[in-house]
């Protein structure tokens, strides 16, 4: 992994390897900040934590005090939170729907991040629209540190700002009321002090092509104006539908029921800098805002491969009306999708959002790409300690649709009850998932074939059959051994009743699988000897008291011994733990 300059010490494998508590072979997990003094790292007795502590001491021993970060090597099995859940609830009680939390000022301390991780956060999202890169860097490093120190498996996603016309200054720190008939000037020019009824937009060309009589809609309907005069590039607008102007309110222009296209690029110069920042900090996902077509996604993916960061997954955010005409090709081009209902509601009528959500979720499942449902799931909890009944129904619906993940935005970033909001997602998803199983509402999608090559088609058929078998036999868990996560995701696509334990020796695969429905990724050493892999991993689970004699697991593998032909080594078997 590319490491930030200046502060990095690469821990020599020889030095780490000499420590007796470090296990067989160590995996590079990444660069994490050194917090506090080396000896003072808390350790609550978990094996992994004591290992991490030994590592920190090993680093200290070679005299790197004062450095802010170092590279750590560790082999880990299951993450601490999945392990706890398995102990408490058993295989079938494990939550399948993944949870994403937006990190903001209300939850960015080490303590708060730890609480979110303990509460089930699978992915931490950093919205690059807000705050400084230094702030984001600190948060990323805290998360990586917690993963190492506490044995969590929380992935990091950055979310690009993208180009969109929005308010940068309307003369007040909070919201302003626009009264019916009041006249406002919208401008892109900077001005000193405050001018009443004047709103500054972020983009100089915001009024290009706009004509007198066009409608200006604020935040998808918070307030509306009619353009009454063009004064150079400024617009004089009369409020026709009174409402609120928030500090970063989004502006959209309409004529004859059609949105006027502003032609801004999907990725701005700032976005490219943020992407480079994400690459250098070793993030796991980049969520791309305002994707309009597949080419922009392909472009970013190509860029990442030139930077040797192919393992960073690119998620396309569906939030423009244009993208809705090209859904399949966008989904196909990306590694996953976010239904970004916030901005989507600015560009399409609100009543269309539920059907768009269902359609996108369905396409993603068909094409086997993870999908996140985002925005306003528990909006009222930004202020209130309980959700509305309608919000609970919305969350339930996302789980019923078998979305891979649900996301908190302001609820965690600035809300008063972020942890509680996360526990609401947790409880509602567990309840709906178990209801779906008990009622046997499991519907097998009429899935089209994905693979083209014989090898891929065999993998796909093995996974389809494996899930049918697992459900019919009522096995406790599915174990899959996988290098790139392909088989794990093909199993997940069938939404099986038991959890999928995905054993991989590639940390990037492990971090990418955090977003996939029902998959618990584990980082382990894997050899060419499949029997040995199975024996070792069953022992690992058994030794930690997480499985007992008589538990039944269905085993799937796509590991190919070095130098062998792939297709010959795909396998499926059922094993009772003895
Ligand atoms: N890193 C951050 N720093 C400060 N505030 C943030 C940060 N991330 C999110 N927020 C706040 O949380 C709110 C909700 O987050 P989000 O939905 O991601 O952004 P937006 O409202 O811009 O779409 C934002 O409007 C912003 O006020
Ligand atoms: C998730 C979204 O994007 P952002 O919060 O970046 O506007 C959205 O619009 O719903
Ligand atoms: K964003
Ligand atoms: Mg958005």
* pLDDT band with cut points at 50, 70 and 90 for residue 308: confident
Ligand 1 contact, 410 CB (< 6 A): yes
Q: Which two tokens stand for residue 72?
A: 């750590």
User: Mean pLDDT lowest for which of 394-403, 521-530, 554-563?
Assistant: 554-563
Lay out the sheet containing 28-33: strands in order across.
8-9, 69-73, 28-33
User: Mean pLDDT lowest for which of 1-10, 236-245, 332-341, 381-390?
Assistant: 1-10
Ligand 1 contact, 160 CB (< 6 A): no
Nearest CA-CA partner of 117 in 422, 395, 373, 323? 422
Q: How far is CA 8 from CA 31, 56, 155, in A?
A: 8, 14, 21
pLDDT by residue (tens digit) across 156-205? Answer: 999 999 988 999 988 888 899 999 999 999 999 988 877 899 999 998 88
Query: If 0-12 CB within 10 Å is exposed, 13-18 middle and 19+ buried, where does residue 172 land?
Result: exposed
pLDDT by residue (tens digit) across 105-149? Answer: 999 999 999 999 999 999 999 999 999 999 999 999 999 999 999
List all residues 6 or more positions away from 317 whose beta carbon is below 8 Å from its beta carbon.
159, 162, 287, 288, 289, 290, 291, 337, 338, 340, 343
* pLDDT band with cut points at 50, 70 and 90 for residue 565: low
Q: What is the pTM of this model?
A: 0.87
- pLDDT value at position 76? 59
- pLDDT value at position 252? 92
Read off the pLDDT of each residue in 455-474 and give the average, rounded to a whole number: 91
Ligand 1 contact, 129 CB (< 6 A): yes
Query: Rounded to the nearest whole angstrom, what is the distance from the C-alpha of residue 126 to the centroid of ligand 1?
Result: 9
Query: Which residue owns the Cα nearest ligand 1 atom 6?
Result: 104
Q: Which two tokens stand for residue 86?
A: 């398995």
Query: Rounded to the nearest whole angstrom, what is the distance from the C-alpha of residue 125 to the centroid of ligand 3?
Result: 10
Q: Kindly report the average pLDDT of the chain as a whole number.
A: 85
Please give all residues whose beta carbon lies within 6 A of any atom in ligand 2, as ranges: 127, 129, 159, 289, 319, 340-343, 374-375, 409
* pLDDT band with cut points at 50, 70 and 90 for residue 573: confident
- pLDDT value at position 26? 36
User: Mean pLDDT lowest for which of 128-132, 339-343, 457-461, 500-504?
Assistant: 457-461
- pLDDT value at position 456? 86
60 or 453, higher pLDDT: 453
Query: Which residue owns the Cα nearest ligand 2 atom 3?
Result: 340
Query: If 0-12 CB within 10 Å is exposed, 13-18 middle and 19+ buried, where does residue 18 land?
Result: exposed
Q: Looking at the CA of 409, name the nearest ligand.
A: 1
State the Cα–Cα distance between residues 107 and 116, nearest whole angstrom: 8
Query: Rounded to the nearest whole angstrom, what is the distance from the C-alpha of residue 20 to the centroid of ligand 3?
Result: 45
Which residue do the tokens 């790139």 mark?
Answer: 484
- Judge whether 468 and 491 are in contact, CB under 8 Å: no
User: Mean pLDDT lowest for which of 419-433, 519-533, 563-577?
Assistant: 563-577
Answer whether residue 503 shows pLDDT above 70.
yes
- Judge whether 492 and 519 are in contact, CB under 8 Å: yes
pLDDT by residue (tens digit) across 209-221? Answer: 999 999 999 998 9
Q: Looking at the CA of 356, name the nearest ligand.
A: 2
């Amino acid at each position: 992994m590319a490491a930030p300059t200046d502060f990095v010490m690469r821990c020599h494998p020889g030095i780490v390897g000499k420590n007796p508590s470090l296990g067989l072979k160590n995996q590079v997990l990444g660069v994490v900040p050194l917090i506090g003094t080396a000896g003072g790292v808390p350790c609550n007795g978990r094996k992994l934590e004591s290992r991490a502590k030994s590592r920190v001491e090993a680093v200290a021993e070679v005299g790197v005090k004062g450095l802010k970060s170092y590279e750590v090597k560790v082999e880990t099995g299951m993450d601490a939170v999945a392990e706890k859940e398995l102990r408490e609830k058993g295989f079938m009680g494990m939550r399948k729907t993944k949870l994403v939390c937006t990190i903001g000022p209300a939850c960015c301390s080490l303590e708060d991040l730890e609480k979110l991780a303990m509460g089930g956060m699978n992915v931490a999202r950093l919205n690059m629209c807000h705050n400084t890169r230094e702030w984001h860097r600190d948060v990323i490093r805290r998360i990586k540190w917690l993963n190492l120190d506490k044995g969590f498996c929380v992935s990091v996603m950055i979310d690009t700002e993208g180009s969109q016309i929005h308010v940068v200054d309307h003369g007040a720190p909070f919201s302003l009321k626009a009264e019916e008939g009041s006249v406002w000037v919208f401008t892109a020019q900077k001005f000193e002090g405050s001018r009443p009824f004047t709103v500054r937009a972020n983009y100089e060309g915001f009024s290009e092509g706009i004509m007198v009589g066009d409608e200006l809609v604020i935040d998808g309907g918070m307030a509306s104006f009619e353009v009454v005069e063009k004064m150079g590039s400024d617009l004089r607008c009369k409020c026709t539908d009174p409402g609120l102007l928030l500090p970063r309110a989004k502006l959209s222009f309409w004529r004859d029921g059609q949105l006027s296209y502003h032609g801004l690029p999907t990725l701005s110069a700032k976005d490219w800098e943020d992407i480079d920042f994400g690459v250098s900090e070793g993030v796991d996902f980049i969520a791309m805002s305002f994707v309009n077509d597949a080419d922009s996604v392909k472009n970013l993916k190509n860029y990442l491969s030139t930077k040797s960061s192919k393992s960073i997954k690119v998620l396309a955010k569906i939030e423009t009306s244009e993208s809705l005409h090209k859904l399949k090709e966008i989904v196909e081009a990306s590694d996953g999708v976010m239904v970004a209902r916030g901005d989507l509601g600015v560009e399409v009528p609100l009543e269309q959002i539920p059907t768009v959500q269902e359609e996108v979720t369905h396409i993603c499942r068909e094409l086997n790409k993870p999908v996140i449902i985002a925005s306003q799931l528990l909006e009222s909890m930004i202020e209130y300690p309980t959700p509305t009944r309608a919000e609970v129904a919305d969350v339930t619906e996302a789980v019923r649709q078998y979305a891979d993940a649900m996301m908190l935005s302001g609820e965690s970033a600035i809300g008063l009850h972020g942890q509680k909001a996360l526990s609401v997602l947790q409880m509602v998803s567990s309840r709906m998932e178990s209801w779906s199983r008990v009622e046997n509402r499991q519907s097998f999608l009429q899935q089209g074939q994905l693979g083209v090559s014989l090898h891929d088609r065999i993998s796909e058929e093995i996974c389809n059959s494996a899930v049918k078998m697992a459900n019919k036999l009522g096995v406790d868990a599915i174990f899959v051994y996988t290098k790139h996560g392909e088989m794990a995701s093909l199993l997940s696509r069938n939404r099986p009743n038991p959890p999928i334990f995905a054993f991989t020796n590639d940390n990037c695969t492990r971090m990418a699988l955090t977003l996939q429905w029902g998959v618990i990724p584990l980082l382990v050493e894997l050899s060419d000897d499949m029997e040995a892999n199975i024996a070792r991993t069953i022992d690992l689970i058994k030794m930690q008291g997480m499985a007992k004699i008589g538990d039944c697991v269905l085993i799937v593998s796509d590991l190919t011994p070095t130098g062998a032909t792939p297709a010959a080594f795909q396998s499926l078997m059922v094993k009772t733990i003895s």
